[in-house]
Chains A and B, each alone.
Chain A
Amino acid sequence: MAKRSIGGIAGIWTEEHSVITAAAKTRESGFSKFDAITPYPVHGMEEACGIKRSWIPYVTFVAGLTGLLFGLWLTWWTSAVNWPINVGGKPMFSWPAFIPVIFELTVLFAALCSVAALFYVTKMPKMDPPVIDPDLTSHKFAIFVPQNDVGYDEVKIERLFKEWGAVEVKKVAEY
Chain B
Amino acid sequence: MASSNHSHTELHVGKFEASPKLKNLTYVFIAIGAITFAAGLMKNQERIWASYLVSFFFFACAGLGGLFWSAIQNLVKAGWSVSVRRYAEGLTSYIPVMVVTSFILILGLKYLYPWADHDKVAESALLQSKTSYLNVGFLVVRLAVFGLGMLAFRQILVGNSLKQDKTGDESLTHKNVGYSIGFVLFFAVTFSLFSVDTLMSLLPTWYSTIFGIYCFSGMFQSFFAIIIPIAIFMKRSGFVKGYVTEDHLHDLAKFMKGFTVFWAYIAFSQFMLIWYANIPEETEYFIMRAQHGWMGISLALFIFRFVVPFLALLPKSLKRDENHLLMVSGLILVMQYVDIFWMVYPNFFEGHLTFGFWEIGIFLGFAGLFLAVLLNFFSKNSLVAIKDPRLHEASHHHVSY
Contact B398 A44, beta carbon cutoff 8 Å: yes
Answer whether residue A53 sits at the interface, using C-beta atoms and an 8 A cutoff.
yes
Answer whether residue B278 sits at the interface, using C-beta atoms and an 8 A cutoff.
yes
Q: Contacting A41 at CB < 8 Å: which of B1, B275, B278, B400?
A: B400
A20-B2, A53-B316, A61-B314 known; A46+B401 contact, CB < 8 A? yes
Query: Contact residue range for chain A?
Result: 10 to 19
Q: Contacting B272 at CB < 8 Å: which of A24, A44, A57, A97?
A: A97
Q: Contacting A43 at CB < 8 Å: which of B272, B278, B400?
A: B400
**For the complex, would chain A's binding face be called helix, strand, loop or mixed by DSSP majority?**
helix
A48 to B398 alpha-carbon distance, docked (Å)? 14
A24-B2, A47-B1, A53-B316 known; A96+B400 contact, CB < 8 A? no
Residues of A close to B268: CB separation below 8 A: 96, 99
Residues of B close to A57: CB separation below 8 A: 316
In chain B between 262 and 278, which residues have their CB closer than 8 angstroms to a CB of chain A?
268, 271-272, 275-276, 278
A41-B400, A43-B398, A53-B316 known; A96+B272 contact, CB < 8 A? yes
Answer whether residue B6 sits at the interface, using C-beta atoms and an 8 A cutoff.
yes
Residues of B close to A43: CB separation below 8 A: 6, 398, 400
Chain A nearest CB from B250 CB (Å) reads: 14
Answer whether residue A138 sits at the interface, using C-beta atoms and an 8 A cutoff.
no
Residues of A close to B271: CB separation below 8 A: 96
For B271, the closest partner residue in chain A by CB is A96
Contact with A along B264-296 (1 / 0, CB 8 A): 000010011001101000000000000000000
Residues of B close to A82: CB separation below 8 A: none
Residues of A close to B275: CB separation below 8 A: 96
Contact A54 B401, beta carbon cutoff 8 Å: yes
A100 to B272 alpha-carbon distance, docked (Å)? 10
Could you tell me how many residues of chain B have their Cβ less than 8 Å away from some Cβ of chain A? 15
For A23, the closest partner residue in chain B by CB is B2
A154 to B93 alpha-carbon distance, docked (Å)? 65
Residues of A close to B400: CB separation below 8 A: 41, 43, 46
Contact with B along A136-149 (1 / 0, CB 8 A): 00000000000000
A82 to B5 alpha-carbon distance, docked (Å)? 57
A48 to B1 alpha-carbon distance, docked (Å)? 7
A47-B5, A48-B2 known; A88+B278 contact, CB < 8 A? yes
Residues of B close to A88: CB separation below 8 A: 278
A41-B400, A43-B398, A46-B400 known; A97+B276 contact, CB < 8 A? yes
Contact with B along A54-81 (1 / 0, CB 8 A): 1001000100000000000000000000
Residues of A close to B5: CB separation below 8 A: 44, 47
Residues of B close to A47: CB separation below 8 A: 1-2, 5-6
For B315, the closest partner residue in chain A by CB is A57
A46 to B316 alpha-carbon distance, docked (Å)? 16
A48 to B400 alpha-carbon distance, docked (Å)? 13
In chain A between 26 and 47, which residues have their CB closer than 8 angstroms to a CB of chain B?
41, 43-44, 46-47
Chain B nearest CB from A50 CB (Å) reads: 9
Contact with A along B3-21 (1 / 0, CB 8 A): 0011000000000000000
Residues of A close to B401: CB separation below 8 A: 46, 53-54
A53-B316, A96-B271 known; A44+B276 contact, CB < 8 A? no
Point out which of A20, A41, A46, A47 has the most chain B C-beta atoms below 10 A from its C-beta.
A47
A48 to B271 alpha-carbon distance, docked (Å)? 50
Chain B nearest CB from A94 CB (Å) reads: 9
Chain A nearest CB from B283 CB (Å) reads: 13
Contact B276 A96, beta carbon cutoff 8 Å: yes
Point out which of B1, B268, B272, B401 has the most chain A C-beta atoms below 10 A from its C-beta.
B401
Residues of B close to A54: CB separation below 8 A: 401
A100 to B273 alpha-carbon distance, docked (Å)? 12
In chain A between 86 and 139, which residues have their CB closer than 8 angstroms to a CB of chain B?
88, 96-97, 99-100
Chain A nearest CB from B307 CB (Å) reads: 12
A24 to B5 alpha-carbon distance, docked (Å)? 13
Chain A nearest CB from B181 CB (Å) reads: 31
Residues of B close to A44: CB separation below 8 A: 2, 5-6, 398
Chain A nearest CB from B321 CB (Å) reads: 15
A24 to B314 alpha-carbon distance, docked (Å)? 30
Residues of A close to B316: CB separation below 8 A: 53, 57
Residues of B close to A20: CB separation below 8 A: 2
A54 to B401 alpha-carbon distance, docked (Å)? 8
Chain A nearest CB from B79 CB (Å) reads: 13
A residues in contact (CB < 8 Å) with B = 20, 24, 41, 43-44, 46-48, 53-54, 57, 61, 88, 96-97, 99-100
Q: Which 6 residue pairs are nearest across A and B when measured between Cβ atoms?
A: A47-B2, A48-B2, A96-B272, A44-B6, A43-B398, A24-B2
Extra pairs beyond A41-B400, A97-B272 (9, CB < 8 Å): A44-B2, A46-B400, A46-B401, A47-B6, A53-B316, A53-B401, A88-B278, A96-B276, A99-B272
What are 25 pairs between A and B in contact, CB < 8 Å?
A: A20-B2, A41-B400, A43-B398, A44-B2, A44-B5, A44-B6, A44-B398, A46-B400, A46-B401, A47-B1, A47-B2, A47-B5, A47-B6, A48-B2, A53-B316, A53-B401, A54-B401, A61-B314, A96-B271, A96-B276, A97-B272, A97-B276, A99-B268, A99-B272, A100-B272
